Every structure is written in C-alpha cells, then in structure tokens.
Amino acid sequence: MPTGIDFFDSWRKGQDGAAGITGAAGLKGRDGQDGKTLWDGTKDPEITWGAPGDMFINATTKTLFGPKNLDGTWPAGVSMVGPKGDQGPMGLTGATGATGATGATGATGATIQYVSSRVDSPVALNAYDGILPETTVVSVTAPGNGTYLASFYTEIYQGSTTANGLCSIFKNGVNVSGQFSQNSSIKSYENTLTLLSGDVVSLRCNGNTSGYSAQNSFAYLLKVSN
C-alpha cells in the first residue's frame, strides 16, 4: 500500500517561538490638568480667592459656592441646610430619677394668736341722753403685743323687736372708733388695731331710749403681725 503525506497533519499548530526582546521606552505622556480645590471659611468667598472651578463653603452660614466662574467671579451660594424635618414620635418615658436630697429646714413660722369672747344673754343698754355712758356689751383681751384684726358683732333689740342703737369701740376705756349706728343685721366693727399684751378692747352701746338691750354678742382678735 503506498504511503503519502497526511493532509490533516499539515494543519497542526507548531511549537511556541522564543520570547522577543524588550521594546524601547514609550514617549512621555502629557501633563494632566490641575485639580480643583474645595475651600472653606467663615464668610462668603472674595473674588481673589481660589481658581476657576474651585468650590467654597461658608462654614458659618453652611452655604456652598462654586464652581468658580472662568471670569473669576463666584456664583450665588446654595444653602447646605435642608428644610426642617417633621417632628418625630414621642420617645418612651424615661426611668424615674433618683430621689433628691432633703432640703434645708424652713424657718419657724409665726405663731397664730387668736382670742374670742361671746355673750349670748341680753345686756340692758343705757339710753343715749348725753349723760349716761355707753354700756359694755362684750370685751376681749389681747394675748400679746402686735397688730390684730379686731371684729365685733351684736344684735340690738327694743323689747323683742330689733332696733337701732349707737355703739363704739373702746381700747382700755378710750373710744377708738367714734360712734356708729348698729342694728341686728350688720357687723359692728372690723378693723386692725395695734395692741399691747393685756389691752382690753370692748364694744359699748346705747339704746335710743330706755328698754333697749344687746344680745348674741361676740368679739375676736386675730394677730396678723408682731
């Protein structure tokens, strides 16, 4: 059988060749463009600051300026602060804090002094004629020195009928109120009096004529200051 060249063997890949020598160095590339700078300060930028393309932040007002124009001017700034957000949900209740220290003891308050006297039974009144003195209806004694709110009350009757009489307030026998008309529906006297311990304050009254009496009478002193 004759032999010949195998057609398919002629298309097989040959062995790799030896590595080539290193090529010559390439040419130097072009210089890159200058980078841009982000500046910051406490006021808006001045025209002499920065180069075109630069940015600037006013740290006081939180305003951003830039890029700087080619003619050297800065464009209007833009606020970096966004709008106020919606109120967030209420937070959880915090834990109870520790008990605070006990405060200093306060000054001792003033002692309230109060004294009263009452006469319910009828007291016959002298007639008002300019001669007979007013009749003492009810009296009360000051328990100490100070200013007192003094109040007196009585009901004036002629027989069994309410009537008008004339009354005065006396302190240690001296008239301190002047004479005033009194009937069964008004308080005789309420005012402040400066008293010493042991001073006697009394309500004294006259009837317009004979047959008058005072009853359901009371007096009290309430100390309001020393």
Instruction: Please say if the pLDDT value at position 76 is more than 60.
Output: yes
Task: Say whether both 157 and 221 belong to one domain.
Answer: yes
Instruction: Please say if the pLDDT value at position 7 is more than 60.
Output: no
Which pLDDT belongs to residue 30? 83
For residue 146, the enclosing domain spans: 114-225
**Final residue before a domain boundary, out of 80, 102, 135:** 80
Task: Say whether both 121 and 220 belong to one domain.
Answer: yes
Tens of pLDDT, residue by residue over 154-170, are: 888 998 888 888 888 99
Which pLDDT belongs to residue 181? 80
Residue 93 lies in a domain: no
Which pLDDT belongs to residue 6? 54
Instruction: Please say if the pLDDT value at position 184 is more than 80.
Output: no
Q: Taking residues 85-107, what's their average pLDDT?
A: 91
Instruction: Please say if the pLDDT value at position 61 is more than 80.
Output: yes
Residue 186 lies in a domain: yes
Task: Say whether both 162 and 215 belong to one domain.
Answer: yes
Instruction: Please say if the pLDDT value at position 29 is more than 80.
Output: no
Which is more confident, 83 or 16? 83
Out of 6-20, 37-51, 129-143, least confident range: 6-20
Tell if the pTM clears 0.75, that is, is over it.
no
Task: Say whether both 130 and 65 belong to one domain.
Answer: no
Residue 58 lies in a domain: yes
Interstrand relation of 212-225 and 146-158 (parallel, antiparallel or unpaired): antiparallel
Q: Taking residues 88-109, what's their average pLDDT?
A: 90
Task: Say whether both 72 and 155 belong to one domain.
Answer: no
Residue 178 lies in a domain: yes
As for how many domains the chain has, the answer is 2
**pLDDT level of residue 2 (50, 70, 90 thresholds):** low
120: domain CATH number is: 2.60.120.40
